């Protein structure tokens, strides 16, 4: 954990508390244990978990700048990434995790319980369904996602959940700039506007990484998101 502590300090200028270090240790142990029985993540080695899961998730804080969101929703969270690592660093955050696969949602419930994380809601549902629920539609400061879908599709998942004045954040690899260009018009239809692409360099990760941020500048039309499966099969263009 010493390297993870130093990497977070170098990336964010933030020193982990002993409680936060203990939380990551438990999270890592439980993820490795569950991965022996269920296919939660493709990355299973400790080095990969710390760099490509924990540190990559925490890099989202670079886009938040000095203004930590009050409410954040993580779409397609899988085993809790990036939402749970963000929550560990931002304990006052109200976090909603959305995951359609039962075992992954169950793991998220397990981990948040044993870590004692409060103000966390876990929904086993599809993003399109959640985006039409009054309790969640346009209720969040930030909506985030990592490795879920191409950006035009992802905008239809994320932007309906964000309040006007909030933002959507997609974590992307080397194709990030091209995807951002393709998502510009779809985002506009959904009330979004591209703010910035933040390049991120992670220790031990050779691949290019980008944080792509879209500001929510207008309300999303009621017809979006469309019914389950449509945004993936027929992305807005």
Kindly report, residue by residue over 15-69, the tens digit of the pLDDT. 999 999 999 999 999 999 999 999 898 888 888 899 999 999 999 999 998 788 9
Third-level CATH fold of 2-233: Rossmann fold (3.40.50)
**Tell me, what's the pLDDT at 44?**
81
What are 199-202's contacts with CB under 8 Å, separation 24+? 200/59, 200/62, 202/7, 202/11, 202/51, 202/52, 202/55, 202/56, 202/59
**Tell me, what's the pLDDT at 183?**
96
**Tell me, what's the pLDDT at 1?**
86
**Tell me, what's the pLDDT at 67?**
81
**Tell me, what's the pLDDT at 215?**
97
Does the pLDDT of residue 210 top 90, yes or no? Answer: yes
Does the pLDDT of residue 168 top 80, yes or no? Answer: yes
Please state the rounded mean pLDDT for residues 96-112: 98
- pLDDT confidence band for 166 (50 / 70 / 90): very high
Q: How is the chain split into domains, by residue range?
A: 2-233
Confirm if 183 and 200 have CB atoms less than 8 A apart: no
**Tell me, what's the pLDDT at 34?**
95
Burial of 171 (0-12, 13-18, 19+ CB in 10 A): buried
Percent of the chain with pLDDT over 70: 100
């Amino acid at each position: 954990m010493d390297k993870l502590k130093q990497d977070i300090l170098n990336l964010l200028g933030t020193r982990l508390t002993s409680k936060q270090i203990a939380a990551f240790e438990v999270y890592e142990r439980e993820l490795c244990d569950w991965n022996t029985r269920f296919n939660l993540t493709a990355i299973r080695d400790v080095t990969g978990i710390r760099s490509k899961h924990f540190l990559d998730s925490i890099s989202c804080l670079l886009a938040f700048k000095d203004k930590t969101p009050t409410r954040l929703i993580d779409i397609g969270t899988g085993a809790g990434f990036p939402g749970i690592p963000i929550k560990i660093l931002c304990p006052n955050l109200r976090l909603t995790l959305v995951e359609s696969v039962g075992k992954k949602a169950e793991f998220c419930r397990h981990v948040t319980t044993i870590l004692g994380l409060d103000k966390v809601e876990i929904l086993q549902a599809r993003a399109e369904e959640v985006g039409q629920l009054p309790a969640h539609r346009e209720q969040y400061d930030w909506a985030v996602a990592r490795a879920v879908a191409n950006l035009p599709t992802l905008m239809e998942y994320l932007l309906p959940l964000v309040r006007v004045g909030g933002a959507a954040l997609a974590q992307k690899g080397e194709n990030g700039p091209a995807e951002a260009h393709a998502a510009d018009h779809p985002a506009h239809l959904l009330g979004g506007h591209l703010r910035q692409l933040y390049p991120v360099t992670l220790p031990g990760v050779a691949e290019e990484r980008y944080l792509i941020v879209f500001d929510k500048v207008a309300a999303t039309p009621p017809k979006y998101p469309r019914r389950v499966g449509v945004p993936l099969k027929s992305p807005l263009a």
